[in-house]
A and B are shown apart, each in its own frame.
Chain A
Amino acid sequence: MTIWTPQDDGHADLSSHDTFANGAPHNTFARLRRDDPLHWTEYEGGKNFWSVTRYEDITQMNKQADLFSSARGIRMEDQSYEEYLARRTFQETDPPEHSKVRMKLLKAFSKTTMAQYEEDIRTLCAEILDQALAKGTFDATKEIARQLPMRMLGRVVGLPDADLPWLVEKGDALIANTDPDFTSHVLDKMQTDEYRMMPFNSPAGAELYVYAKELMAEKERKGDTSGVLNLILEPAKDGSTITETEFRNFFCLLVAAGNDTTRYSIAAGIQALCHQPELLDQMQTGGAVWETAADEIIRWATPALYFRRTATRDVEMHGKTIREGDKLLYWFISANRDESQFEDPFRVDLMRSPNRHLSFGQFGPHVCLGMWLARLEVTVLFQELAKRIKSIEPAGPQKFLRSNFVGGIKELPVKVEAI
């Protein structure tokens, strides 16, 4: 299996989206973990930042939200205070403010709530797979992985089915805003001044804004209280309510966060099946493997390559001084391949247990809200896939997304033999 990107000489530019267009630069991450775990990374497009690459460091730092704050941005790109205020969601706040909003959402996204959607997911998976597999040779990202997450999110959120294809497209444009295949407004390649106040700097953000507003108005008019969006509109115990801006941003967050991440987890899982044929046998044997498979696939995928924090005061680490206001990138993709935490990290082991990967930003207050949904989707998709195929193999070169933030195989040609 191709793991080491041959283009990566161990000194790849982590701030460059182009670097990741060939897959994550694992040689560079391995070197940094070993020699320079707190690496000052130069960034042409803005302020330089610290790259944190070791598992142990990230887990320790992610807990300390008072010291390493989410409230000054969570992406590498810099933003002014005005931009921050206009675009932020509760993901860009710190406890205790963060906790208040999050608490309202936890129940809606809990393991138990999500389990109720299992049959829905299974039906959707069956539909999607039957269509795709009939083709024999096809792009697995497009025909399988791209379809499920948005349709499922639509159900959970309570959106009309007819709107879902449009949402998939907008979700793509929102988050893959550095890949020209997905947006005509490539973030680092043009002046996007007009959109600076929009979520993810994107015109798709503007459209989603309008959609969210209309959606709520419609629901209110009909007295429809289904789905999770209503949960966050209810006043908190102290009587405070979410503002319209906060609401619209949260809606965009759901579309963006629930879409690509799950998609690229599924894609990475299919890619693994192509390269480690024993995985399909294991899945077909079934049983206990399903308790651990999804997490290993999601570790393998690590679709959220990093999230950023900002230091709130000076602090010493690894003999260096992190200054107040310095940006820090927690490279989950590196932590998930850290040989001191994972045995044989470049092998997919569906029975890996315990598997305390960091794909969901674990060990911090922002740990993914959608993780139970994502795990369920991945589990059910692969259960249904394994039932239907005898073999699966690559049918052409795979292509990665041009982004140092979302890691994903955007084109994955495969050939399957159906059962």
Chain B
Amino acid sequence: MKVTWKLPGGEAVTAQADYGQNLMEAAQANDVPGIVGECGGSLACATCHVHVAPEWTEICGEAGEFEDAMLDLVENKQDCSRLSCQIELAPQLDGLVVSVPAD
């Protein structure tokens, strides 16, 4: 499957990702700048923040309660904010587009 990360500078990274990975892991595997993922997906660092493109927000779903509380800590929180380690990649997300917020 494919995922596209739009970067703050205007460029974008489109890369192949695997089902079963989460979106943070896919970003790390492709060295996407700005997605650090320090806690390895333990919901403990909020360094994997993305804005989900409008056409994908519904399919991605909403942040869970704890994730939402963590998102209160990031700069640039928006309604479409998610922590990407909490998005499991699955067939219905093929083609997913997210952007990496400037920090």
Contacts and interface: CB of A to CB of B under 8 A. Distances in A.
Contacts of B46: 106
Contacts of A96: 66
Contacts of B31: 354
Contacts of B103: 111-112
A288 interface: no
Contact of A59 (B40, B43, B73): B40
Contact of B44 (A59, A99, A356): A99
Interface residues of A, number: 26
A362 B40 contact: yes
B38 A63 contact: no
Main secondary structure of the interface of B (DSSP, over half): loop
A103 B42 contact: no
Given A106-B73, A112-B75, A112-B103, A63 B66 contact: no
A103 B69 contact: yes
Contacts of B28: 356
A39 interface: no
Contact of B73 (A95, A99, A103, A360): A103
A363 interface: yes
Contacts of B41: 63
A103 B70 contact: yes
Given A106-B46, A111-B103, A367 B38 contact: yes
B39 interface: yes
B44 A367 contact: yes
Contact of A237 (B39, B42, B69, B70): B69
Interface in A363-381: 363-367, 371
Contact of A99 (B38, B40, B43, B75): B43
A363 B39 contact: yes
A26 B75 CA distance: 41
B69 A360 contact: no
Contacts of A354: 31
Contact of A95 (B40, B42, B75): B42
Interface of A: 59, 62-63, 65, 95-96, 98-99, 102-103, 106-107, 110-112, 237, 354, 356, 360, 362-367, 371
Given A102-B44, A106-B70, A364-B39, 13 more contacts: A63-B40, A63-B41, A95-B43, A96-B66, A99-B66, A106-B46, A112-B75, A112-B103, A354-B31, A363-B39, A364-B40, A365-B43, A367-B39
10 contacts: A63-B40, A103-B69, A103-B73, A237-B69, A356-B28, A362-B38, A362-B39, A364-B40, A364-B42, A371-B38
User: Nearest 7 pairs between A and B by C-beta?
Assistant: A363-B40, A365-B42, A365-B44, A367-B39, A63-B40, A367-B38, A106-B73
Interface of B: 28, 31, 38-46, 66, 69-70, 73, 75, 103
